[in-house]
């Protein structure tokens, strides 16, 4: 059977389908047939474009991590006031997770299943440089007497924890607080401002 020349649009459809399947089922629980069904193509076409499930996973994982961390890095490296950066990071987190609510569990599951492989990929990110730049800004605010002492690492972990937890614990939160989906989504949208205000109030002198 003679295959057609690879088409960028077809590649993107396959990648979008793979992202949906991997986020729902993880690497181990996904099959190429699942991705083919989601994309509306046959499995042979998937193998022609991407060779294997692992190759597809590598691309999807690196895209998801790369998109998030590139946007995060842009904010942290930007010439913006510290409190405005905090607001923008919170907004980025919650908007990204609202778009892909299964992403945190996907990341955590893959970290537990394949820690060495995932950590190797994460080490490619220039986080040391980004955090170093962020720490310089924090130190400058400390010297001015504007904020309490805190490290860039702790500040970023605090922000990420408050943003990510409601998505990871979604069924528990909805059950315990007897929330309908509409109420839950309204609460998430409200956190775009509430989390930033909470973090800023916690570090401000």
| CB contact at 8 A, 35 and 57 | no
pLDDT of residue 3: 47
Read off the pLDDT of each residue in 184-190 and give the average, rounded to a whole number.
Answer: 95
What is the three-class DSSP state of 123? coil
pLDDT > 70 in the chain, percent? 94
3-state secondary structure of 180: coil
Contact between residue 35 and residue 46 where contact means Cβ atoms under 8 Å apart: yes
CA distance 24 to 100: 10
Instruction: Specify whether the CB–CB gap between 89 and 75 falls below 8 A.
Output: yes
- pLDDT recorded at residue 63: 78
How confident is the prediction for the chain on average, in pLDDT? 87
Tokens of 151: 């490290």
| Residue 192 pLDDT exceeds 70 | yes
Query: According to the model, what pLDDT value does residue 5 have?
Result: 58
pLDDT of residue 201: 97
Listed in sequence order, the DSSP H helices in 100-145 are: 103-113, 115-122, 127-143
* Structural domains of the chain, ranges and CATH numbers in brackets: 1-51 (1.10.10.60), 58-203 (1.10.357.10)
Place of tokens 């400390």: 142
Query: What is this structure's pTM?
Result: 0.76
What does the pLDDT look like over 88-100, one tens digit per residue?
999 999 998 887 7
**Averaged pLDDT for residues 56-73:** 80
Residue pLDDT, tens place only, 9-53? 899 999 999 988 887 777 778 899 999 999 999 999 999 999 888
Question: Higher model confidence: residue 111 or residue 200?
Answer: 200
């Amino acid at each position: 059977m003679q295959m057609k020349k690879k088409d960028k649009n077809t590649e993107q459809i396959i990648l979008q389908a793979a992202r949906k399947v991997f986020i729902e089922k993880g690497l181990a629980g996904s099959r190429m047939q699942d991705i083919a069904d989601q994309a509306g193509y046959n499995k042979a076409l998937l193998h022609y474009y991407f060779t294997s499930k692992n190759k597809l996973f590598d691309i999807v994982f690196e895209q998801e991590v790369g998109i998030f961390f590139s946007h995060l890095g842009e904010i942290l490296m930007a010439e913006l006031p510290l409190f405005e950066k905090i607001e923008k990071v919170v907004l980025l987190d919650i908007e990204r997770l609202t778009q892909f609510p299964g992403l945190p569990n996907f990341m955590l599951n893959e970290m537990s299943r394949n820690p060495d492989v995932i950590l190797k990929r994460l080490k490619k990110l220039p986080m040391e440089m980004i955090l170093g730049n962020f720490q310089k800004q924090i130190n400058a605010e400390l010297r001015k007497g504007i904020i309490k002492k805190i490290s860039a690492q702790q500040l970023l972990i605090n922000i990420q924890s408050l943003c990510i937890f409601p998505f990871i614990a979604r069924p528990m939160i909805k059950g315990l607080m007897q929330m309908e989906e509409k109420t839950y989504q309204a609460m998430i949208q409200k956190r775009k401002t509430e989390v930033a205000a909470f973090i800023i109030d916690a570090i401000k002198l």
